[in-house]
Amino acid sequence: MDLLQLLILLVIAGICGAVAELIVGFSPPGLQVMLVSIIVGVIGAFIGGWIAETFSLPPITEIRVGNIRLNLLYTILGSTLLLVILQALRSGRQWFSIKR
């Protein structure tokens, strides 16, 4: 993989991460919006790929960059799941509160 392929994959991951942020309603503060979207997209690609492999889901929207295949739908799904889990952990008292 050369540098151009890596940059293309990071841009695609950033777009998928931004779509997941729009779905969940997550907006990172400050100027780190693009960096957070890329990180969420990259982690979401791993989570989505793992989910697709675990449940033997067929590739639906697959993009090839060099010899790397990236499935857009599963990347967005994994990114959305990641953000939902992070928001649940951030507001843990509201979601997991036990009343006495």
Nearest Cα residue to 79 out of 8, 24, 32, 34 = 24
pLDDT digits (tens, 9 = 90+) for 5-16: 999 999 999 999
The model's pTM: 0.85
Give me the sign of the Cα torsion angle 67, 71, 72, 75: negative
Q: Give dist(CA 28, CA 25) in Å, integer.
A: 10
Q: Is the pLDDT of residue 97 over 80?
A: no
CA proximity to 18, closest of 52, 53, 55, 44: 44
pLDDT at 100: 52
More confident residue, 93 or 41: 41
